[in-house]
């Protein structure tokens, strides 16, 4: 088993979690008092997008991205290559720990936490999902390196969660 620190350089490489979209998440957008709304099928969308990554379905994932994120990540073939490099290092997903939504910087994020065969620590894939269902940001990190989430009193609690 590898420790996450041996793989953390991969987040720069995977950057299915491209640095530009994540940097853009650091600036909180203006939010209405009721906050942004998730699509009705938001949990299913997040799970579907995660399956695209796990199954190397880069064309389908690419079609789900916003135009800005497509520009930052390159082509579907580039995304496929990054997926291969990531999973070569982390191994295969062995167990899903949880799937949930958190508000971060005023936007809903789907977080998929799972154990992977080559890592000692769970890994978290994060998707910023816009009201139209498109992905505007993707992040990947060790569970111990999760970024802070918004105060639930500011935007409301996570809209749904599933623990396994």
Task: Report the 3 state secondary structure along the chain.
Answer: CECHHHHCHHHHHHCCCCHHHHHHHCCCCCCCCCCCCCCCCHHHHHHHHHHHHHCCCHHHHHHCECHHHHHHHCCHHHHHHHHHHHHHHHCCEEEEEEEEEEEECCEEEEEEEEEECCECCCEEEEEEECCCCCEEEEEEEEHHHCCCCCCHHHHCCCCCEEEC
Q: What pLDDT score was predicted for residue 41?
A: 73
Per-residue pLDDT of the chain (164 residues; tens, 9 = 90+): 544 444 444 443 344 444 334 434 444 333 333 455 666 678 899 999 999 999 999 999 999 999 999 999 999 999 999 999 999 999 999 999 999 998 888 888 999 999 999 999 999 999 999 989 999 999 999 999 999 998 877 655 454 555 55
Q: What pLDDT score was predicted for residue 63?
A: 97
Q: What pLDDT score was predicted for residue 155?
A: 53
Q: What pLDDT score was predicted for residue 115?
A: 97
Domain ranges, ordered by start, for the chain: 4-20+39-163
Q: What pLDDT score was predicted for residue 162?
A: 58
Q: What pLDDT score was predicted for residue 107?
A: 86
What pTM value is reported for the model?
0.76
Query: What fold does the segment set 4-20+39-163 form as a domain?
Result: Nuclear Transport Factor 2; Chain: A, (3.10.450)
Q: What pLDDT score was predicted for residue 42?
A: 81
């Amino acid at each position: 088993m590898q420790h996450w620190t041996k793989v953390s350089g991969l987040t720069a490489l995977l950057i299915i979690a491209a640095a530009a979209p994540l940097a853009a998440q650091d600036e909180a957008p203006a939010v209405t008092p009721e906050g942004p709304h998730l699509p009705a099928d938001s949990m299913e969308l997040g799970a579907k997008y995660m399956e695209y990554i796990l199954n190397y379905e880069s064309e389908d994932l690419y079609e789900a991205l916003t135009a800005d994120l497509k520009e930052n990540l390159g082509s579907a073939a580039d995304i496929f290559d990054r997926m291969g490099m990531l999973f070569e290092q982390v191994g295969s997903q062995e167990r899903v720990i949880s799937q949930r939504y958190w508000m971060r910087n005023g936007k809903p994020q789907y977080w998929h936490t799972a154990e992977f065969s080559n890592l000692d620590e769970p890994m978290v894939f994060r998707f910023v999902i816009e009201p139209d269902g498109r992905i505007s940001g993707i992040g990947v990190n060790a569970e111990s390196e999760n970024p802070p989430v918004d105060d639930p009193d500011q935007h409301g609690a996570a809209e749904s969660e599933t623990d396994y």
